[in-house]
Structure 1
Amino acid sequence: MEAHIRYHARHRLEAFVGNREIGNLEPEDQERVLRLRSDYESRFRELIERGVAEGAFEVESARVASYSILDMGIGVASWFHEEGEFSVDQLAYQHGDIALRIAGRQRID
């Protein structure tokens, strides 16, 4: 999650255009990009599913959780400014914590 946030905060224009303009690509390029995005999402979902299986997470739907987490990161590209209240690292750490909460992090002592 932290890498996801850092990318979207540091490459705001590229991320914003890349995420919002997929529909304007040629069909074969659009299909390739959507396939890559699906693979990216499935990696997040698989991590959540593994965490559920190990008892570290408790979530009703790993797919919904992964979409929520990814969308939260993508949104950073539209509002984050380096001169704002938080540094990229502070933002990444906060979003990492929020992502764990979305995944239903369970306290393990």
Structure 2
Amino acid sequence: MLLGMAGLAGISMLTRSFFFISRADWRLPAWVERGLKYAPLAALAAVVAPDILLVQGQWQPHWQDPRWPAAVLAMAWAAWRRDMLGTIVVGMGVLTFCRVVLGWPL
């Protein structure tokens, strides 16, 4: 077990430090740099969207589901301000308000 863990750690360190070990300067193409700007938003959408749209793997939308107004208002905030942290705060604030104050179940 320890040998396997050490091997995986070594491989991980080697592959992650490859760009630092090399003497040549690495420059990403412009199209890759443009594409990487959207990676955080794509990752957040991939994590959040299934939780909003599905209930235990089934499509069951309900108007009193607090995830819907939280998602809509968070998207509106994101379109207005272009602020990721603010988007998360607004979404979680609306979700908490709907659950605590209005008593809507998840």
- Is the shorter-chain TM-score for this pair beyond 0.5, marking a shared fold? no
**TM tier, smaller:** 0.3 to 0.5
Task: Give the greater-gyration-radius structure (CA).
Answer: 2
Q: TM-score, normalised by structure 1?
A: 0.33
Name the structure where helix makes up a greater proportion of residues: 1
Q: TM-score, normalised by structure 2?
A: 0.33
Structure scoring higher RCO (CA < 8 A, sep ≥ 6) equals 1
